[in-house]
Structure 1
């Protein structure tokens, strides 16, 4: 996570989406329909059940705060697991969309409904810049049990896939205040992928660029923040070569204004590297959105 998460998003969640966009005017949200039946339970042998397979050319929309704008003509919606009602997911499915549900797998957020399930020993340092959020000890059996329940929640709500965030807490990438190693992170991220697959969920690798090559075989797609901004997009070669989508978001103000054609050049680079790039607000509230073709 570079900029997404934190208590600062709570105030934004109460606000509706709005603002400029290069897309056609959004349509009204569909009338809520009954929630879909939960995904099949894992088989006793642990054999993965059938799941959705994302495609490299799939367009996407990413919105984690505010009322979800269901009017974009894209293949994939990436929305918050806890805050999204099953009826919204059902309406997206009725419109032919696939739904990815976001949750933090590497941090405890004190506004989430299951926060009390974390033990004090599970938590490390606060995330820099995100009040109310602390790194988790990914070696903890309790932490893994909580994440398993979150995956069950995603399956029960009808999510097609999940985006577990903050899966790069090992040193020196982030200062979790916990003795986490690269091997600990690899084991935890593979655990998340395996448990998601057991529940029929596709799973995204979020950032964690240092381990992309090692983890690409275990994940179905990737979600990245600002790889163009930081010159890191080439790190996703293993996903691109395997035909797995790399969904990227950029936040720099210059991409929004497109002064001197900077966004046009961004989109040309994104296409050349095989990515699907959006220019979005850091709050991910749909106040504006520019999609590279």
Structure 2
């Protein structure tokens, strides 16, 4: 594989494009919004500048990486002549199914279609295409340039050949691919989201406050970030969506989202992206304690 397309220039999409380009691949970064595309390219540049400052990359390597990335607002143009397309759009089933229907129609028949979904069934996504054997999950972790893990999820019809190709490709990106089966939440979120949900439930029932819960998990369990701050970082709307996917998929009440999480999302308190979640980010991305409603 030499030419890659990434659909979506948001946090995950620009990170995926960054990693591919840094490792020598030509990348078409596609987003229907020129503003989002410009922001994504600016984020890649900023992250590369940070790597140069830390002497992880040379200035020449930064320049070469950026030269390998081309931006498009047309999916038809962006998908032309590529070997692999990685979809990294918003975690929304209807949107992803629509994108894969389009990609199946406009891309070459031998192009592998991958999705960065963190919870949605690969088999369900593959079913809207005429190439289910070439559809696979490639779930990167955030922030993509730093985190080593890639969950590789094969759908019911994903071929052994495609799976091996994507596993090998992930290694070339400096990642550690781990193959998992296609069940709601896969492995990472099937374990992570109930932990976050239980932390929210612990807050909701008044066992402890936000800072206290996060402190216990950071100092007691050696987590680099407490579960409530992590939820803010992921996005409370994303956490709610993933929990609902697992709840709907397993019909098990242990995956039912906490009412506090549901209410916060309804109120637009989504975490870092909205400026407020369990912490206040109004003036900076650094988490500031909210002293009122959670006490």
Q: Which has the higher helix share?
A: 2
Greater C-alpha Rg:
2
Q: Name the TM-score, length of structure 1 as normaliser.
A: 0.30
Q: Name the TM-score, length of structure 2 as normaliser.
A: 0.30
